[in-house]
Amino acid sequence: MKKPDEIMADYLLKGGKMLSKACNACGSPLFEYKGETLCVVCAEQGGEITEAPAARAPNEAPPAPELPTPAGSGVSALAEELDRTLVYLCERIRSEARAEDCLMLMECVAQGIEVRRHL
């Protein structure tokens, strides 16, 4: 959570005006921002200001989970393609007559599974 003086500094930078009145709840100075008088500290810490994410400081850790999985990304398409390829390779192994060709195909499958696991 941001410190009150950081929040106030943010609003000053964004063009907010610090007023001489103080917030009843937290005692911080009230701000005039976009024609509204508000306590930026309460607003920020209560999460009521919808534009807060846009004003996020670059050095602040984002709340996103560690593994971002963008919807419809190329990764799932790649995984599907790999699955199809692995099935195809397995079918070829079944019909392969030569032992060394079987072995080579199985190595390909093993590689594919390894790659699949890291997707």
Q: Which positions touch Zn ion (CB under 5 A)?
A: 23, 25-26, 39, 41-42
**Minimum CB distance to Zn ion, residue 26 (Å):** 3
Sign of the four-CA dihedral 52, 54, 59, 64: positive
**Minimum CB distance to Zn ion, residue 41 (Å):** 5
Neighbours of 7 (CB within 10 A): 23
Closer to Zn ion by CB, 39 or 89: give it: 39
Q: At what angle do helices 99-117 and 74-95 cross, to 10 degrees?
A: 160
Closer to Zn ion by CB, 27 or 101: give it: 27
